[in-house]
């Protein structure tokens, strides 16, 4: 290791590879990079596998660019710069290793399947080039591999089980401070005059985006903004102590939660820093507890990360052992209506279409999808509403389709959380009470009787009286005329009758579950302890249903 360098007076030429973890605070891999370092190259790679216009929507691009600009700004204060490189990491690194005579590579550990295989390839390449590799865990609060090990090699499938495992692991580590200028006084970052041309941060236009229709930037990316938002939220001590997620509103006009999630996703904010700041606020005070508290929210993130590590094909239905196999419909029209609504363009003027793209004919759902598209963030319960609606509740479309849309549009689109929550909401895994269905009408009314949220995001409905705002098709013709919006012409009829279709879908879920039990009886669990014992006659689906009916 670096011992030889110490004795010979040699110091490292090091690349710190930023991927997530776009911050200086609580960044142990960056600190490791600065140890025995004479030259530091902070690098971000625009990997086309992760960052392309099919996967990443314009708002998420804008957020990323904000993060990179902020990072470059912070690095300048340490007399360094960020190097943005385009290309596949396995092609980029060998060139950089040679060009800069690199001896050490540091990065933050990333547990996503693509990241693991990418990092394995890059590590092999590094070794071939005589480059030492150092990585540190700091994207999650805990070590996911350790959690799975403590749970006998499997991901915990319930939150309680997950918390039990955490008790054996103990408190999270304390975050470490950002490197200061003293830490980099012997470190140089060689920059040419052409730095911005060769390694600059791209603009949205560079990436081929039309920015003329871009909305206000409500949540600018970057570590400084993340820390500012954290401070701002932690100042509300009473609110922090009383925070209970289910009590927050999905349809308030300004967010009822912290909106720190995008900053956690990109690693502008360290989850450990967040955790310990909340702990400080709790000190000596009565406070809410997981799963509903702010700590609880951070633990949900860890829960899904562990699931993403321990469960194969976690982002798919097929080949995913915890996911109930459901005979979802293929219905491009329904999907388009939920997502953005191509089929309604014919009937509606372009101006109206531009201002309100989603068109299921259910204002609460359409308003949420409009907010998602415009702002890149929606409240967790709003996600529940539209996710349940797309899948088991109403449209009976595979959750993987929703997963793709969320990944594209959400600033906090996070692989493990996205996959896990879609399975939860579709009652495919983790949550199994499929007969509990959200009403696209009733849910929103609980916290917004007047429908102000709907009026904000679907202005063409703004003149409807509160009585009909959630169900405009029920309004008498005269009311529709007075509101200047005729249902079926200006705004669509609901694409489904929720009361009818949701009951039908519950029965379809019941069948999927029965088939699941029958299948697991046919091919019992893989675990050796369960393989032993008397073989039982496999039950058919029909047997299962008959048994259930008799009850």
Partner DNA sequence: TCTGTCGTTGACTAA
Partner DNA sequence: TTTAGTCAACGACAG
Q: At what angle do helices 223-235 and 271-282 cross, to 10 degrees?
A: 20
Closest approach of DNA to the CB of residue 512, in Å: 10
3-state secondary structure of 134: strand
* Binding residues for DNA restricted to 364-383, rule: CB under 7 A: 380-381
Which residue among 443, 461, 469, 485 contacts DNA (CB under 7 A)?
443
Structure tokens belonging to residue 217: 């930037």
Q: What are phi and psi of 382, to 5 degrees?
A: -65, -35
Interaction of residue 246 with DNA, rule CB under 7 A: yes
Q: Is the CB of residue 249 less than 8 Å from the CB of residue 243?
A: no
Query: Alpha-carbon distance 285 to 288, whole Å?
Result: 10
Interaction of residue 513 with DNA, rule CB under 7 A: yes
Interface pattern 298-317 for DNA (x via CB under 7 A): --x-----------------
Closest approach of DNA to the CB of residue 423, in Å: 11
Interaction of residue 441 with DNA, rule CB under 7 A: yes
Closest approach of DNA to the CB of residue 238, in Å: 19
| Closer to DNA by Cβ: residue 478 or 532 | 532
Closest approach of DNA to the CB of residue 242, in Å: 14
Closest approach of DNA to the CB of residue 293, in Å: 8
Interaction of residue 124 with DNA, rule CB under 7 A: no
Interaction of residue 390 with DNA, rule CB under 7 A: no
Interaction of residue 384 with DNA, rule CB under 7 A: yes
Closest approach of DNA to the CB of residue 534, in Å: 6
Closest CA to 491 of 466, 463, 467: 463
Q: Tokens 């029909």 — which residue? A: 542
Interaction of residue 125 with DNA, rule CB under 7 A: no
* Binding residues for DNA restricted to 255-284, rule: CB under 7 A: none
Structure tokens belonging to residue 338: 């939920």
Interaction of residue 153 with DNA, rule CB under 7 A: no
Interface pattern 519-538 for DNA (x via CB under 7 A): -----------x--xx----
Which residue among 53, 117, 124, 164 contacts DNA (CB under 7 A)?
164
Closest approach of DNA to the CB of residue 478, in Å: 26
The vertex-420 CA angle with 266 and 432, nearest 5°, equals: 155
* Binding residues for DNA restricted to 408-437, rule: CB under 7 A: 424, 431-437
13 is in an annotated binding site: no
Query: Alpha-carbon distance 140 to 218, whole Å?
Result: 26
Containing 39, the helix (H) or strand (E) segment is: strand 37-46
Query: Alpha-carbon distance 24 to 269, whole Å?
Result: 9
Q: Tokens 């502008």 — which residue? A: 268
293 is in an annotated binding site: no
75 is in an annotated binding site: no
Interaction of residue 242 with DNA, rule CB under 7 A: no
298 is in an annotated binding site: yes
Task: Encode burial over 429-443: b for 16+ CB neighbours within 10 A, e otherwise.
Answer: bbeeebeebbbbbeb
Closest approach of DNA to the CB of residue 158, in Å: 4
Structure tokens belonging to residue 366: 């359409």
Interaction of residue 473 with DNA, rule CB under 7 A: no
SS (H, E, C) 422-462: HHHHCCCCCCCCCCCCCCCCHHHHHHCCCCHHHHHHCHHHC
- The full DSSP string for 196-213 is HHHHPPPPTTTTT---TT
Closest approach of DNA to the CB of residue 296, in Å: 6
Interaction of residue 517 with DNA, rule CB under 7 A: yes
329 is in an annotated binding site: no
Query: Alpha-carbon distance 263 to 269, whole Å?
Result: 5
| Closer to DNA by Cβ: residue 49 or 435 | 435
303 is in an annotated binding site: yes
Q: Which stretch binds DNA (CB under 7 A): 96-104, 159-167, 198-206, 219-227?
A: 159-167
Residues 6+ apart with CB under 8 A from 346: none
Which residue among 296, 310, 361, 413 contacts DNA (CB under 7 A)?
296
Cis status, amide bond into 291, omega within 30 of 0: yes
Query: Alpha-carbon distance 268 to 288, whole Å?
Result: 26
Closest approach of DNA to the CB of residue 219, in Å: 19
How many residues are given for the chain? 551
211 is in an annotated binding site: no
Interaction of residue 446 with DNA, rule CB under 7 A: yes
Query: Alpha-carbon distance 264 to 270, whole Å?
Result: 6
Interaction of residue 402 with DNA, rule CB under 7 A: no
Closest CA to 339 of 353, 355, 354, 358: 358
Query: Alpha-carbon distance 244 to 449, whole Å?
Result: 21
310 is in an annotated binding site: no
Which residue among 510, 521, 539, 541 contacts DNA (CB under 7 A)?
510
Closest approach of DNA to the CB of residue 279, in Å: 18
Which residue among 233, 273, 297, 480 contacts DNA (CB under 7 A)?
297
546 is in an annotated binding site: no
Residues 6+ apart with CB under 8 A from 318: 325
259 is in an annotated binding site: yes
Closest CA to 225 of 391, 73, 102: 73
Interaction of residue 239 with DNA, rule CB under 7 A: no
Cβ burial, residue 52 (10 Å; 0-12/13-18/19+): exposed
Q: Which stretch binds DNA (CB under 7 A): 122-130, 271-279, 294-302, 397-405?
A: 294-302
Interaction of residue 10 with DNA, rule CB under 7 A: no
| Closer to DNA by Cβ: residue 42 or 250 | 250
| Residues within the interface to DNA (CB under 7 A) | 156-161, 164, 245-246, 291-292, 296-297, 300, 322, 380-381, 384, 424, 431-439, 441-443, 446, 510, 513, 516-517, 530, 533-534, 548
Residues annotated within the binding site are 257-261, 297-304, 412-414
Residues annotated within the binding site for FAD are 257-261, 297-304, 412-414
């Amino acid at each position: 290791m670096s011992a030889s360098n110490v004795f010979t007076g040699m110091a490292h030429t090091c690349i710190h590879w930023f991927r997530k973890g776009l911050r200086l605070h609580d960044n142990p891999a960056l600190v490791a990079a600065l140890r025995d370092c004479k030259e530091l190259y902070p690098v971000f790679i625009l990997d086309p596998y992760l960052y392309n216009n099919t996967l990443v929507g314009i708002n998420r691009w804008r957020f990323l660019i904000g993060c990179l600009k902020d990072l470059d700004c912070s690095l300048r204060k340490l007399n360094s710069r960020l190097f943005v490189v385009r290309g596949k990491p396995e092609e980029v690194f060998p060139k950089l290793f040679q060009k800069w005579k690199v001896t050490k590579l540091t990065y933050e550990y990333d547990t996503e399947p693509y990241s693991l295989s990418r990092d394995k390839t890059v590590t092999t390449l590094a070794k071939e080039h005589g480059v030492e590799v150092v990585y540190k865990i700091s994207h999650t609060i805990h070590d996911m591999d350790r959690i799975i090990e403590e749970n006998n090699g499997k991901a915990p499938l319930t939150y309680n089980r997950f918390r039990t495992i955490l008790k054996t692991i103990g408190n999270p580590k304390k975050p470490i401070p950002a490197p200061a200028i003293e830490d980099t006084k012997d470190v140089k970052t060689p920059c040419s005059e052409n730095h911005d041309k060769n390694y600059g941060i791209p603009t949205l236009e560079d990436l081929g985006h039309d920015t003329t229709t871009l909305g206000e930037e409500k949540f600018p990316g970057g570590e400084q903004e993340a820390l500012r938002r954290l401070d701002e939220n932690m100042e509300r001590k009473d609110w922090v102590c009383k925070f209970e997620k289910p009590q927050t509103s999905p349809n308030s006009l300004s967010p009822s939660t912290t909106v720190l999630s995008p900053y956690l996703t990109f690693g502008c904010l360290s989850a450990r820093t967040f955790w310990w700041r909340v702990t400080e606020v709790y000190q000596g005070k009565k406070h809410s507890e997981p799963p509903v508290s702010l700590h609880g929210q951070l633990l949900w993130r860890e829960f899904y990360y562990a699931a993403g590590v321990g469960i194969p094909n976690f982002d798919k239905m097929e080949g995913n052992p915890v996911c109930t196999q459901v005979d979802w419909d293929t219905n491009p029209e329904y999907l388009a209506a939920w997502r953005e609504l191509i089929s309604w363009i014919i009937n509606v003027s372009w101006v109206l279409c531009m201002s309100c793209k989603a068109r299921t004919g259910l204002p609460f759902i359409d308003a949420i999808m409009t907010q998602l598209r415009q702002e890149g963030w929606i409240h967790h319960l709003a996600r529940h509403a539209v996710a349940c609606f797309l899948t088991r509740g109403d449209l009976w479309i595979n959750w993987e389709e929703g997963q793709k849309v969320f990944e594209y549009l959400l600033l906090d689109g996070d692989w493990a959380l996205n996959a896990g929550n879609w399975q939860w909401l579709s009652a495919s895994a983790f949550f199994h009470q499929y007969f509990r269905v959200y009403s696209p009408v009733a849910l929103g009314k609980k916290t917004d009787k007047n429908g102000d949220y709907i009026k904000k995001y679907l202005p063409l409905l703004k003149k409807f009286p509160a009585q009909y705002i959630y169900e405009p098709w029920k309004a008498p013709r005269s009311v529709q005329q007075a509101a200047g919006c005729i249902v079926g012409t200006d705004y669509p009829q609901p694409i489904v009758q929720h009361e009818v279709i949701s009951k039908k879908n519950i029965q379809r879920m019941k069948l999927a579950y029965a088939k699941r039990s029958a299948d697991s009886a046919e091919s019992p669990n893989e675990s050796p302890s369960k393989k032993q014992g008397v073989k039982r006659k496999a039950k058919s689906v029909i047997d299962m249903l008959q048994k259930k009916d008799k009850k």
